[in-house]
Chains A and B, each alone.
Chain A
């Protein structure tokens, strides 16, 4: 009973903290902005997942699965960066469709991780935040 009350109290405090958490102000407007925001968000999620595991709030299985997915996401974004990087260099390989596919994959993975975080009630609006920073591919390559 007391544990429950203490937990509720802490959740209230955390809720107040959440209300004060700064949100991303706008969607990215260029491919590089999208990649930068995706990479920054992925880095933040990875640090959070590591922290949650270190604190014992997620299991080793959840942590390892998250890290594996985040690695896929990171690799996908890296390939997306390569695809975009080539577009600004005359004669270099430029493959926006590949970049689009990779960003799609990265978005799905990051949403999965965000869902995991939401599941443990640590970041309630994370999926929305992630969606905001992972740009819709058509906007990038229009």
Chain B
């Protein structure tokens, strides 16, 4: 089999798995925070949402700069 084809398919596969894992990590982080709330811990604050929005903007800026 052509090495380029193997590399292409493997790249696609690993990217797929990485994407799924990232989604799982996002959900895990949300669940961890909600668990804390449910256990009587500190409720989610405006500052936390602000921090997420800031991180999101940084990711968007990084995306806009991609060639």
Contacts and interface: CB of A to CB of B under 8 A. Distances in A.
A122 B19 contact: yes
Contact of B26 (A11, A17, A18, A44): A44
Q: Is the contact region of chain B dominated by helix, strand, or loop, or is it mixed?
A: helix
Contacts of B25: 44
Interface string B1-13: 1000110011111
Q: Is the contact region of chain A dominated by helix, strand, or loop, or is it mixed?
A: helix
A84 B46 CA distance: 9
Contact of B6 (A6, A37, A55): A6
Contacts of A109: none
Given A39-B52, A81-B46, A55 B15 contact: yes
Interface in B3-61: 5-6, 9-13, 15-31, 33-35, 37, 43-46, 48-50, 52-53, 55-57, 59-60
The 3 closest A-B pairs by CB, nearest first: A10-B13, A44-B26, A39-B52
